[in-house]
Copies of this chain bind each other. A is one copy, B any other.
Amino acid sequence: MNEETARILLAHGNGGRLMRELIAGIFARHLGNPLLDTDADAVALPRLDGEIMVTTDGFTVQPLEFPGGDLGSLAVHGVVNDLAVAGAEPRYLTLSALIEEGLELPTLERLIASLADAARAAGVAVVAGDTKVVRRGEGGGLYLSVAGIGVKRAATLDLRRVQAGDAVLVSGPVGDHGIAVMLAREQFGLSGELRSDCASVLPLARAVWELPGLRFMRDPTRGGLATVCHEIARATGHTVVLTQASVPLRPEVVSVCEMLGYDPYYLACEGRIVAVTDASAAGELLERWRAVRGGEDAAIIGRIDEAGARVILETELGGRRVIDELEDDPLPRIC
């Protein structure tokens, strides 16, 4: 071993000695649990008591580490959150890592250790994994794909259950992740105190799974709040009306958006929930969320109107503005 930082070599992916040592020394060491067997092609799960729910997500965020999170914690939260908003208690994850030749081993280890911490905190175990190494210039340092297996705990939550008259809520300020990651990219020449909201929304979801009148939840990641509203509008044929004054936004997000011309409603969140509920249950949902850590700034931000399949913003000056479906990509590799 010379004095330079140890880096990933192509031979770390070939099935031989270096790959075995990489898996044992980093992946198995941090992710180890009684079910994970790196010598097995597949592992048997303990009996799951209830209806099984599954999801998958790929993670490509750049930079790999940013204020408030990193690729490893993001990968766990992204999948845990997809299960949580669908009404499932997350239990098991699988992990596929695509590593670029040249990635520094200490960086890889920090990211996998962070992933392991996030998994422990969310109560999920990584039960199967795979690593591949691609040549320099054919990757982005590290990409992670995670599948999640959970057990259904809520009544069926579905976009198509949303009705005219329902209330729309969000669990906290929107756009933090998008702006935090953007500021962490050197090319913008900006920096700030803002941290990504990257977090598990499981406690927020659990607090309302049993709430009568809850129709639908989604975590507004890529495409942000606006995109979730468009999904609701398209699936139901109703119009989503947001009231500008009530959508929580951090001042730093507002400033950066004004400076760079972004619309915060399209920016990714990684630790928020958008919920739609019967209007009569909105107060109870809000109260429950505000009692959970991370839900202090939850707000009722809009309603579902009969009229057709659009997203409308009622501005603070009393106007109405159509929010279009997202076209151009403001920020690639945001999640």
Residue numbers of A with Cβ under 8 A of B are 9-11, 13-19, 39-45, 47-48, 51-60, 82-83, 85-86, 88, 92, 94-98, 127-135, 137-140, 143, 145-150, 152, 156, 158-159, 218-219, 221-224, 227, 231, 235, 268, 325-330, 332-333, 335
The list of the 5 closest CB pairs from A to B, nearest first, reads A15-B223, A16-B326, A145-B145, A15-B222, A147-B147
Cα(A231)–Cα(B59), bound, Å: 31
Interface contact B55-A41, CB-CB below 8 Å: yes
Interface contact A42-B82, CB-CB below 8 Å: yes
Interface contact B15-A96, CB-CB below 8 Å: no
CB within 8 A of A332: which of B10, B149, B152, B327?
B10
Interface contact B325-A40, CB-CB below 8 Å: no
Cα(A130)–Cα(B58), bound, Å: 6
- A218 to chain B: which residues have CB within 8 Å? 41
A10-B332, A14-B223 known; A54 vs B94 contact (CB < 8 Å): yes
- A59 to chain B: which residues have CB within 8 Å? 132
Interface contact B138-A329, CB-CB below 8 Å: no
Interface contact B135-A332, CB-CB below 8 Å: yes
How far does the Cβ of A146 sit from chain B's closest Cβ, in whole Å?
8
Cα(A16)–Cα(B39), bound, Å: 41
How far does the Cβ of A220 sit from chain B's closest Cβ, in whole Å?
9
With a 10 A CB-CB cut-off, give which of A14, A41, A92, A128 has the most chain B CB atoms.
A41
Interface contact B94-A56, CB-CB below 8 Å: yes
Interface contact B39-A43, CB-CB below 8 Å: no
Taking A13-B329, A58-B98, A149-B149 as given, write out 12 further A-B residue pairs in contact, using a Cβ cutoff of 8 Å, ordered by the A residue number: A15-B221, A17-B325, A18-B327, A19-B223, A43-B53, A56-B129, A56-B145, A96-B96, A98-B98, A98-B143, A132-B333, A147-B147
- A18 to chain B: which residues have CB within 8 Å? 327
